[in-house]
Amino acid sequence: MTPTIGILYPGYSAEDDYPRAEALLGGPRLPLVHTEMREDAHRVDALLDIGADDVLAEGVRALPGPLDAVVWACTSGSFVFGWDGAKAQVDALSAAAGVPASSTSFAFADACASLAISRVAVGATYPQDVAERFVAFLQHVGVEVLTLSSRGIITAAEVGTLPADAVLDFAAAADHPDAQALLLPDTALHTVGLLDALEERVGKPVLTANQVSIWQGLRLAGDTAARPGFGALFAGRP
């Protein structure tokens, strides 16, 4: 059976990563709905607003069914609630959708566990205070952040304009020699189509927001097939 993973995506920035991934996956469907973003800002109050239960429930109602899983494809709009708040968020989302649900923040935690990764470097496009909340989220599951690089970009729309060479350069600069993997946590960052190039550039697994969101949705739907072109995470999953 071909799984259908509903993607809830805030605003407009790198949403084209999902149809690109769907074409490369060659089977699974990734219908996407843009959820309401009253203010595009990597700022705590704005992020709490875009991740509110009523906003996500409205997005679920707009997804075409039937669905096998739903993913809230927004890292900052999930980890900003803290671990318990992010868990309550996906529980409410699952109840609204009637299928298993997760968010990009939990996808990062689960991807690290799948690859037995406990030491990482993080290249965050967010301002420092927001990026530090992602570090705290990872620490909750025992993932140590050896270095945090913050690019300080306020809006998702601006992040979405970064060209491929800038993404590759940012990744290389954010790495740490002792890190087992590099994490790029913003779903506003275009990375689908760059995953193998990113890993070649830094010489280790690279986990990106849109990549782990898709992986998590497929995993929830029972699809664990290895697939080329999506980095170490998809190469041969336990």
Same domain, 95 and 12: yes
Same domain, 34 and 152: no
Same domain, 51 and 124: no
Structural domain including 169 reads 108-208
Same domain, 114 and 196: yes
Same domain, 61 and 112: no
Same domain, 32 and 116: no
Contact between 7 and 32 under an 8 Å Cβ cutoff? The reply is yes
Within its chain, how far is the Cα of 86 from the centroid?
14
Same domain, 193 and 162: yes
Same domain, 141 and 69: no
- Terminal Cα distance for the chain, rounded: 21
Domain count, the chain: 2
Contact between 74 and 10 under an 8 Å Cβ cutoff? The reply is yes
Q: What pLDDT, on the 0 to 100 scale, is given for residue 171?
A: 97
Same domain, 91 and 120: no
The CATH number that applies at residue 135 is 3.40.50.12500
Q: What pLDDT, on the 0 to 100 scale, is given for residue 237?
A: 47
Query: DSSP states of 114-174 as a string?
Result: HTT--EEEEEE-S-HHHHHHHHHHHHTTT-EEEEEEE-----HHHHTT--HHHHHHHHHHH
Same domain, 116 and 97: no
- Kindly give, in sequence order, each residue whose CB lies less than 8 Å from that of residue 197, ignoring residues fewer than 6 positions away: 164, 168
For each of the chain's 238 residues, which pLDDT tens digit applies?
A: 799 999 999 999 999 999 999 999 999 999 999 999 999 889 999 999 999 999 999 999 999 989 999 999 999 999 999 999 999 999 999 999 999 999 999 999 999 999 999 999 999 999 999 999 999 999 999 999 999 999 888 888 899 999 999 999 999 999 999 999 999 999 999 999 999 999 999 999 999 999 999 999 999 999 999 999 999 999 964 4
Q: What pLDDT, on the 0 to 100 scale, is given for residue 157?
A: 87
Tokens of 16: 């084209």
Same domain, 116 and 129: yes
What is the spatial distance between Cα 69 and Cα 201, in angstroms, rounded to a whole number?
33
Query: DSSP states of 122-136 as a string?
Result: EEE-S-HHHHHHHHH
The CATH number that applies at residue 74 is 3.40.50
Return the bridge partners of 9, or none. Answer: 34
Give pTM, 2 decimals.
Answer: 0.96
